[in-house]
Structure 1
Amino acid sequence: MNITKEQIDELNAVVKVAISKEDYQEKVDTILKDYRKQANIPGFRKGQVPMGLIKKQYGKAVLVDEVNKLLQDNLNKYLTEEKLDVLGNPLPKQQEDFDWESDNLDFEFELGLAPSFDVKLKTKKAVTQYKIVADKKMIDEQVERIQKQYGKLVSKTEVGKSDEVTGTFTNEAEEIENKTTIELSKIKAKKALDALVGKKAGESVTLKTKGLFKEDYLLSSSLGIAKEKAEKLNIEVTFTVEEINERQPAALDQELFDKLFGKDNVKTEKELRERIKDDSETQFEQQSDQKLLNDITERLIDETKFNLPSEFLKKWIQISGEKMLSEDEASEEFEKSEKGLRYQLIEGKIIQENELQVQLEELKEFAKGFIKSQMAQYGHLDPKEEELENIATRVLGNQDEVKRLSEQLMSQKLLTLYKEKSNLKVKEVNYEDFVKEAYS
C-alpha cells in the first residue's frame, strides 16, 4: 500500500491511496474459506460448495468490505502520523467505471485542512466586564419581599389597594373560566384598580385585558390561557371576587432570621441586609461572567481573521448527515455553523497554547462543588465528604455527565485566563442597568 498527499492550496489537499492485491487477498481468501465451511446451498453438502461458486456469490462484497477497512485504518493512521489537522472527514472522490477486478486499486480523498492563524487575547477593542452591585433599592425590595413571603394573611371584607384577591375570571366567548389570586399591587390599569377597590366577596367587575397587569406574563396565568393567546388578547373579562386578604409583613426579628439562614447566623437587620447584598452579588457574578465569556467569544471571532476551506466543508455537510442535502441546503447549513466552527478552532488554539487541561481529580472536585450547590437548594447545607465522594463517583461513571462537566470546567478555565490576559474595562452597574445594557 502506498499513500501520498498532493497539496492543492493552503486549505485543500488530495490524498491518494494505492492498494495492491497482496494488501488484501490473503484476508479475503480466509473469509471466503470460512463462508464455504458455513454455506448452505441446495445441491451441495455443507462445506463442499465449490470455491468458484462462493467467490461468484460473495467475492465482490467481501473484497469491497475488506478494502474499505484497509482504507479507513490506514488513512486515519496516515493523518495521525503526518499530523494533518483536518476539518470534517476525508471525502472520497467519485471515480466513474471503477474496476474492482483490477489487481491494483487506486483511491483519492479530498481533505479540508485547518487554517494557520494567531490568536491575540488582548483584543484591539476592550471588552466590558460588568461588576453588578446590589444597590439600596434592590435590597429594600428584597427585604420587603421576604417580609411579605413570611408574613401572614388577614381576612378582609372589602378590597383595598394592596390586598390579595381570590376570584374567578370569565369570558364565555373566549371560553375563559379560571380561578386565581391576584395582587392589586401588580395591577397596572388605573381604571381596573379603581373598579376593584371597595368590592366585597360575591361582587363582580368588568376589566379590560389590554394593559391590565404591570408584567405581561401575569395575564396568561391569571386567565389560564396560553402565553401566545394572551399577547394578542384585547377583550373584556368578568372578575368575581370570592376572597379578600391583606398580607401583613413579617417582623424583622430573630425568628425570621433563623428561618432564613439557620440559628443565630444573622442577628440584626443590618446583618440581614449585608447577607442579601453578598448573596445577590454572588449570583450576579455568574451572570456577568457568562456575559463576559459571550462577549470575549464574539470579539475573538471578529478580530481573529483566517480563511476556511468553505467549498470542501459545504460538500462535507451535503453528504455527512442522515440524508443528502442539496447544494443550496448545504450552503445554508454552512453559513449557520461557520461562526461556531471558527470559535471551535480559536478555542482549541487557546487551550493548546496555554496548556489548559482538565485532570480527573480536579473534575471530581468540580463535580463535588456542583453536587454540593444542588443539595443546598434542597436544604442539605452540610453534606459529609464521603457522601459527596460517592455521588461524584456515580456521576462521573456516566460519560454524558463527564462530557458536560468537563466542558463547564474548561469554560471556567478559559474565563479565568481571559480575566488575566484580555483587554477588559470594568464597569460597575446595578442589576437594572446591567439588564438594559447587556440585553437591549
Structure 2
Amino acid sequence: MEITLDKHSANQASIKITLNEADYQPKVDAKLKDYAKKAVIKGFRPGKAPISMVKGMYGVSILVDEINAILGESLNSYLKEQTFRILGEPLPVEKENNSIDWKTQKGFDFEYKIGFVESINLALDNKTKGVKYAIKVDDKLINETIDNLKSQYGNSTNPEVSEANDTIYGDLKAAEGEFEKTLSLPLSKLSKKFSGKFIGLSKDAVVEFEAKDVKKDEWSEAFGLTDEEIEEAKGAFTFTVKNINRTEAAELNQEFFDKIFGPETVSSEEEFIAKVKETLQSSYDRESKVFTEEELKKVLIEKANLELPDAFLKEWLIRANEGKVTEADVEKEYPIYAKQLTWSLISNHIAKENSIQAEHADVIEKTKEMIREQFASSGLGAQLEASMDIFVDNYLKGKEGQNYMNMMTSVQNEKVLAFVQEKIDLTEKEISIDEFKELLDK
C-alpha cells in the first residue's frame, strides 16, 4: 500500500492511496472461506459448496467491502498522524470514467480531497485589547419600565373620543387598488405630528392621509405592515375607526406589587422601585456578559487570522447534506457557518493548550440556571426546585444526547472566555441602555 499527500494550497490537499493484491487478497480469501462454511446453495449440503462457486457468487461484493474497509481504516490512521486539523470529512474524487473492473483488476488507485488548518498561533497577553461592557440601569430606564408595567396591568376602557396614546381599531384602505387591512393602531408609535390626525375621533370617523406622510418604521411598528406591503404602500389612504381602546395606568398599590413580583415580595413603593432596579440590573448583566463575550470572539477570530478551505467546505456541506440543501443555500448560510467553525477551532485550541475542560457538574449547574431563567416568571418556586433533577435529566437526554453535548460546548466556551479575560488587556466600560442599543445596531 502506498499513501501520498499532495498539498494544493495552505489548507487544501489530495490524498492518493494505491492498493496492490497483497494488501487485500488475504482478507478477501479469509472472508470467502468463512462464507463457504456457512453458505446454503441449492444442490449442495450446507457448507459443502465449492469455493469457486462461492467466489463466483459473492467474490466481487466481498472484495468491494474489504477494500472499502481497508481504505477507511488506512485513511483515518494516516490523518491521525498528521499535525494539521482536518475539517469536515475526506471527499472521494470521482474519476471521469469512474470505471473499475472488480473481476479482473489487481491494483487500485483511490483519491480523496481534504480541507484542513495548520497549527493555530494565538498569544493571549496584554497586547490583545478587549472591552468588558457593563450596562448601567439609570432612573430613566427604571421609570420607563414602571410606566410600561402600569400600562400593561392597567384597566382597559373604550372611550367615545380618542386621545393621545390610545389604540384605535379600524380599517386601513388604499384609495387605489385592492389593499385593505383591519388592524389596531397604537398612537404612541406614531410621530407627534402624524398622530394628531387620529386624536379627537369617534367611532366611524374617517382619516385621510398620504403614504409619504408615514415613516417606514411607522408602517411596520404602528400599522403592522409587512416589508412587501410597505413597498406597495403608495398614494392616498383612509383609516376608518371601528373602536377606541384606552388603558388607564395601574396604581402603585399592594395589589399591583403582588401582580408583578408575587404575594408579599415587596410592601412599599420604595421596595417596589428597588426590586424593579434589581431585576433590570440582573437582566442587563446577563446581556452585558453575552455582548462582551461575542465582542471578544471577534477580537480573537481577527487575531488568529485562520484561513479556512472555503471551496472544500462548501462542497463538503453540499455532499454531506445531499438532497437537503442547494448551492444557493450553502452560499447564503456559509458566512455564519464559517464564523462558528472558526470560533470552535479557536476555543478548542485554547482549551487544549491550557487544560480547560467542561466537567459534568458544570453542565448540570448550567442546565439548572437555564431552567430557572425559563421559569422565572412562572411562580413555581419551591415546586420547580423540588423537581429540578427530573427537569435537568429530561433536557440533557433530549435530541438523543445532543442537548448534553451542546451544553458541554457552551460551558467550555464560557470557561475559555473567562480565561481569556484574565490574560488580555481588558478595559471595563459602563454604558447606558441607549448606548448599548447603538452598539447592537452597528
Indicate the TM-score class for this superposition, using the shorter chain for normalisation: 0.7 to 0.9
The aligned counterpart of 2:173 is 170
The aligned counterpart of 1:255 is 255
Counterpart among 181, 185, 189 of residue 186 in structure 1 = 189
Distance 1:148 1:23, change over 3 A: same
- Please state if 1:143 is matched with 2:158: no
Q: Distance in 2 between matches of 1:377 and 1:425?
A: 34
**Amino acid of the structure 1 residue aligned with 2:172:** F
Q: Deviation per CA, 1:280-300, whole angstroms, max 9, x where unpaired?
A: 222223333232222222222
Instruction: Indicate if the aligned counterparts of 1:209 and 1:219 stay in contact, CA closer than 8 A.
Output: no
Instruction: Indicate if the aligned counterparts of 1:24 and 1:67 stay in contact, CA closer than 8 A.
Output: no
**Amino acid of the structure 2 residue aligned with 1:303:** K
Q: Distance in 2 between matches of 1:176 and 1:373?
A: 43
> What is the deviation of 1:261?
0.9
- When normalised by structure 2's length, the TM-score is 0.80
Q: Distance in 2 between matches of 1:205 and 1:25?
A: 86
Q: Distance in 2 between matches of 1:238 and 1:77?
A: 73
**Amino acid of the structure 1 residue aligned with 2:424:** S
**Amino acid of the structure 2 residue aligned with 1:432:** D
Distance 1:419 1:267, change over 3 A: farther
Instruction: Indicate if the aligned counterparts of 1:32 and 1:55 stay in contact, CA closer than 8 A.
Output: no
Q: Distance in 2 between matches of 1:181 and 1:330?
A: 40
The aligned counterpart of 1:61 is 61
- Of 394-403 and 325-334, the range deviating more from structure 2: 325-334
- Please state if 1:357 is matched with 2:357: yes
- Of 417-426 and 205-214, the range deviating more from structure 2: 205-214
Q: Deviation per CA, 1:23-57, whole angstroms, max 9, x where unpaired?
A: 413333135426742x56xxx56857654344234
> What is the deviation of 1:372?
1.9
Instruction: Indicate if the aligned counterparts of 2:175 and 2:235 stay in contact, CA closer than 8 A.
Output: no
The aligned counterpart of 2:344 is 344
The aligned counterpart of 2:31 is 28
**Amino acid of the structure 1 residue aligned with 2:209:** L
SS in 2 for 1:396: helix
The aligned counterpart of 2:295 is 295
Distance 1:256 1:230, change over 3 A: same
For 1:28-427, list aligned pairs within 5 A. 28-30=31-33, 32-33=35-36, 36-37=39-40, 39=41, 51-80=51-80, 85-90=85-90, 100=102, 101=104, 112-122=115-125, 124=127, 126-171=129-174, 173-188=176-191, 190=193, 192-212=194-214, 215-221=218-224, 225-305=225-305, 322=322, 338-398=338-398, 399-427=401-429
Q: Distance in 2 between matches of 1:162 and 1:176?
A: 26
Q: Distance in 1 between matches of 2:177 and 2:125?
A: 58
> What is the deviation of 1:87?
3.2
Q: Distance in 2 between matches of 1:157 and 1:288?
A: 45
Q: Deviation per CA, 1:76-99, whole angstroms, max 9, x where unpaired?
A: 245446776433334557789867
> What is the deviation of 1:5?
6.2
Structure 1 unpaired stretches of 5+: none
Q: Deviation per CA, 1:239-270, whole angstroms, max 9, x where unpaired?
A: 22233344321111222112111223223333
Q: Distance in 2 between matches of 1:34 and 1:94?
A: 37
Instruction: Indicate if the aligned counterparts of 2:175 and 2:236 stay in contact, CA closer than 8 A.
Output: no
Instruction: Indicate if the aligned counterparts of 2:32 and 2:54 stay in contact, CA closer than 8 A.
Output: no
Distance 1:111 1:194, change over 3 A: closer
Instruction: Indicate if the aligned counterparts of 1:128 and 1:292 stay in contact, CA closer than 8 A.
Output: yes
Q: Distance in 2 between matches of 1:85 and 1:297?
A: 20
Q: Distance in 1 between matches of 2:332 and 2:180?
A: 46
Q: Percent identity?
A: 25
Instruction: Indicate if the aligned counterparts of 1:289 and 1:415 stay in contact, CA closer than 8 A.
Output: no
- Of 90-99 and 63-72, the range deviating more from structure 2: 90-99
